[in-house]
Amino acid sequence: MAHLLSNERYFPMKFRKLGPGMMGAEVFAPRAALPQIVSEALRVCLQYDLEPMIEIHFLSGGDGLLLCYYITDQTRQLKYTIDSFRGLLISSALIELGARPYSSGVWNHVFSENSDKEELRGLEKAKREMDPQGIMNMGKYPRLGGRLAGLPAALFSPEVLGNGLRLLNLLGPISSKVIKLISSGRAFDRADDDPLLRAADECAMCGACVGVCPAYLVTKDERVTGRGKLLTARTMSVGEGISTEHAHRTFLCMRCKACEQVCQSKLQLIPVYEELERRLARLYGKDNEEIAKFVKQVESSPAYDALVERGLVLGAPGRDLREGG
C-alpha cells in the first residue's frame, strides 16, 4: 500500500504516456479582485479557443489559488507546445489584473518580477543550503543560464517574452487566429510507433534524472542523462545530424537505473538507451576505450558511492562495458 501511495504522490507525470492530459495556468489571486480575474480567465480562454475548467482554493489569508485547466495532448508535440504557450498567455492576462505566479522556476521566469520577493529569497537560501554544489537544475534556478551565450534565458526574460505576451493579448483576435492555425498542424507528431520518439513524447522533461545520473555527476554534460538522450533521439528524428563527439558521449551510461527510479513519467529507459545506442553505433561507431575509461572513473567517484548508499543503483554498473559490449 505504501508503494502504491508513493507512486501516486511522487510520480504525477506518469500519465503522460496515456495520451490526452491537462494543461493550464495557476496564479494567486487577491480576494478583492477574484471575480474580475475569473471573468478574465474565461474571456482569454474563449479568445484562444479553449474550454477551461476552473478551480479556486481559498487560502488562510483569504486570497485564492486559481487553477485554470484545459485539455491538451502531450503525444502531439506541436499542439502540446502551443497549449503550453497558451497557458503563459492566460497567466500574463491575469497578472495584469493583480494576480501573481503560483510558482517560480523556468516556466514562470517570465513573471519573476511579479513574484513574492521574500519568498524567492527564501527559496534561493534553501537551494544554497541543500544543493551547495549546484547540481540540481543547473542554469535553470534561481537564474536562467544555458548555452548559446544565455540567449534562451534572455528570450524568456520579463523584458522580452513578458512584453511579447502582453502584445499578443492586446492583439486579441489576430494572435488567436495565428496560434490556432499553427496548433492545427501535425509537425513533430509521431509518424509511426518508433519507441524512441514515443519515450521522448512521454518524457516530462522535468530533469529529475539529471541530479541522480552518475555519468552527469562526473562529466557535467547533460547529453549523458535520460533527458539528454531523449532530446538526442528527437533531434535525429527530424533529420538533424549530431557530431561524432555527441554520439560517443551518449554511450557513457552505467545502466544503474537511477533515472528510472526518479522518472516522473515512470518510463522504462534502459531499453530506450540500448535502441538509441544501436542506431548511433551504426551511424557513428563506438569508442570502447572512452567507455572503459568512463566506467573506471565513475566507479571510483565518491558521488557514485553516495548513489549506491541511497539505494538508487539497481542495475549492473559496468556490465560488459569494459569489454566494449
Greater confidence (147 vs 57) lies with: 57
Domain definitions of the chain by residue range: 10-183, 195-309
Greater confidence (235 vs 2) lies with: 235
Residue 309 has a pLDDT of 82
| Nearby residues of 11 by Cβ (< 8 Å), 6 or more positions away | 263, 264, 265, 266
**What percent of the chain has pLDDT above 90?**
45
Residue 22 has a pLDDT of 81
105: left (phi over 0), alpha (psi -120 to 50) or beta: left
Prediction pTM value: 0.61
Question: Is the predicted pLDDT of residue 224 greater than 70, yes or no?
Answer: yes
pLDDT digits (tens, 9 = 90+) for 261-306: 889 888 999 999 999 999 999 999 999 999 999 999 998 888 888 8
Q: In the predicted model, what is the mean pLDDT of residues 43-67?
A: 92
Question: Is the predicted pLDDT of residue 67 greater than 90, yes or no?
Answer: yes
Residues 267, 276: Cα–Cα separation, whole Å: 15
Residues 20, 27: Cα–Cα separation, whole Å: 23
**Of the ranges 37-51, 101-115, 143-157, which is most confident?**
37-51
Question: Is the predicted pLDDT of residue 320 greater than 70, yes or no?
Answer: no
Residue 14 has a pLDDT of 53
Residue 77 has a pLDDT of 73
Residue 321 has a pLDDT of 42
Mean pLDDT of the chain: 84
Task: Write the class of the CATH domain 195-309.
Answer: mainly alpha
Q: In the predicted model, what is the mean pLDDT of residues 4-9?
A: 49
| Nearby residues of 38 by Cβ (< 8 Å), 6 or more positions away | 29, 54, 56, 66
Residue 63 has a pLDDT of 92
Question: Which SS3 state, helix, strand or coil, does residue 58 take?
Answer: strand
Helices (H), 52-162: 77-95, 117-130, 151-155
Name the nearest CA neighbour of 99 among 69, 64, 70.
64
> Residue 135, exposed/middle/buried by CB under 10 A (0-12, 13-18, 19+)?
middle
User: How far apart, in Å, do the first and last CA atoms of the chain sit?
Assistant: 40
